[in-house]
Amino acid sequence: MFQLAILKCVSCNNNLTGTSKNQVIVCKNCNTPNEIYKGEAYTVRVTYVPSPGGEPQNQVYLPFWVITTQIDIKSEEIKGGKIMRFVKGEHDFQGTQKIWIVAGDLPDEESEKLGYQYTKTQPEFSHGKTESIQEMPVIRDHNEATQIAEYLFLKYEVKRSGTLQHIDYSIGFSDHELVYLPFDKKGNAYSPLV
């Protein structure tokens, strides 16, 4: 543990202490979660999803940034097609939706897979923390998560279209929250419980 010299809780102004590398620090005085972003503490909305049961000692809370994103694809050009396509509604990430980005330290490939999965099929869940489950630290702030969201959007747009030569789009982010989902952990393998 170490003291983050100038960081004060957004709610009660108490000094924040935490483990290094965790972007989210829960105030020991008032229990308010603080996001550490660019060296400052900020309010962050946090949701825990209860474990459906099983063995909490073999479960872990995986943190996700859930980013409300607006993507508008104005036009795109795909190799082979001489016509610029003007498109609507056929894209994985088009319109307003919540994009899920793994906030914990998982291998890139697994993070992408999980994030994509939850973005495509938004999980339905109830709220409530199962106290006995360990939490994986949050290693990226919400701003990094928005950058990953944009990268994933472009990546999947390229994958979908074959050879994308040109794309004209706008992207905006209107909201973010941190959601902890319970996973079964066996060795280095995580399987979702929600």
Instruction: Name which position in 3, 6, 12, 147 contacts Zn ion (CB under 5 A).
Output: 12
Q: For the chain, give me the number of helices (H) and strands (E)?
A: 2, 11
H helices of 51-132, in order, are 108-120
Q: Give yes or no for a contact between 8 and 32, defined as CB atoms under 8 angstroms apart.
A: no
Contact between 101 and Zn ion by CB under 5 A: the answer reads no
Contact between 30 and Zn ion by CB under 5 A: the answer reads yes
Contact between 17 and Zn ion by CB under 5 A: the answer reads no
Q: Give yes or no for a contact between 72 and 81, defined as CB atoms under 8 angstroms apart.
A: no
Instruction: Name which position in 4, 8, 11, 164 contacts Zn ion (CB under 5 A).
Output: 11
Q: Give yes or no for a contact between 41 and 8, defined as CB atoms under 8 angstroms apart.
A: yes
Contact between 130 and Zn ion by CB under 5 A: the answer reads no
Instruction: Name which position in 27, 49, 101, 179 contacts Zn ion (CB under 5 A).
Output: 27
Separation in Å, CA 183 to CA 11, 36, 85, 143: 30, 25, 41, 25
Between 27 and 106, whose beta carbon lies closer to Zn ion? 27
Q: Which stretch binds Zn ion (CB under 5 A): 14-22, 100-108, 131-139, 151-159?
A: 14-22
Q: How far is the CB of 34 from Zn ion (least distance, A)?
A: 8
Q: Which residues bind Zn ion (CB under 5 A)?
A: 9, 11-12, 14, 27, 29-30, 32
